[in-house]
Amino acid sequence: GDSVTQMEGPVTLSEEAFLTINCTYTATGYPSLFWYVQYPGEGLQLLLKATKADDKGSNKGFEATYRKETTSFHLEKGSVQVSDSAVYFCALKSRDDKIIFGKGTRLHILP
């Protein structure tokens, strides 16, 4: 069945460092892809999305590009801040409308 694999955390970076969180997927057809973020004590919020190959989603300085050839949707940010510390979830919407989440990657940003 469809699945999402993302890099295990925790990921610890210094402020202003470059961030990459890897995400790959297995799915039938061409699913829509998402990144969600969960700040401490809160529910998940949609961070960005892409609905077709080569689309780039972006929000709050984060970007991810839908790569069909490598079945990937890696999350990147050029300069992270302490306030970016959170858990990040990669997800896909399958052909039968299920939302499938990865296991989440905890990000710690040190001042």
Partner 1 sequence: DVKVTQSSRYLVKRTGEKVFLECVQDMDHENMFWYRQDPGLGLRLIYFSYDVKMKEKGDIPEGYSVSREKKERFSLILESASTNQTSMYLCASSPRTGRWPLHFGNGTRLTVT
Catalog residues that contact partner 1 under the rule CB under 8 A: 32, 34, 36, 41-46, 49, 89, 93, 97-99, 101-104
Tell me which amino acid residue 104 is: G
Closer of 29 and 111 to partner 1 (Cβ): 29
Closer of 25 and 78 to partner 1 (Cβ): 25
Side-chain half-sphere CA neighbours of 95 within 13 A: 7
Q: Of how many residues is the chain composed? A: 111
The distance of closest approach from Cβ of residue 49 to partner 1 in the complex, given in angstroms and rounded to an integer, is 7
The distance of closest approach from Cβ of residue 100 to partner 1 in the complex, given in angstroms and rounded to an integer, is 9
Distance (Å, rounded) from C-alpha 35 to C-alpha 82? Answer: 19
The distance of closest approach from Cβ of residue 104 to partner 1 in the complex, given in angstroms and rounded to an integer, is 5
Distance (Å, rounded) from C-alpha 1 to C-alpha 84? Answer: 32
